[in-house]
Amino acid sequence: MKLLVVDDEQDVQFLFKQKFRKELKSGEVQIKFAFNGQSALEFIESIQNRTDYYVLTDINMPEMSGTELLKKIKIRYPALKVIMITAYGDEQSYSLALKNGADDYFTKPLEFNLLKEKLHYFNQV
């Protein structure tokens, strides 16, 4: 399983590597990181098997929000699974994410066991 984690906070990289330590070591999971929406789009455009990836993006980022990134991804690559992550669990953000095609929505602090379950589910469907 391949993940693209998009978040402007670079400490998220350490957190994901720590929480997926076992899966990374076994080769079950590969994780790439982008620190803004534009870098994420460039990475997605550079890979051939885009549907192998799951995009996990923060909503609140400078320059391009996660919602804007979601819209662009769903227009260009509608089959790509996108999971929104936010520190704000308000109903408006949730509704907007789903309206724009998000495949799921998680609030921070992330419940990594739940996230792993969802990713495994997506991987089997």
Burial of 35 (0-12, 13-18, 19+ CB in 10 A): middle
Looking at the predicted structure, is the pLDDT value of residue 2 above 80? yes
> What's residue 35's pLDDT?
96
Looking at the predicted structure, is the pLDDT value of residue 36 above 80? yes
- 59/87 Cα distance (integer angstroms): 8
Looking at the predicted structure, is the pLDDT value of residue 89 above 80? no
- What is the fold of 2-124? Rossmann fold (3.40.50)
pTM for the model stands at 0.95
- 122/35 Cα distance (integer angstroms): 24
How would residue 66 be classed by pLDDT, with cut points 50, 70 and 90?
A: very high
Task: Read off the tokens for 53.
Answer: 């990836």
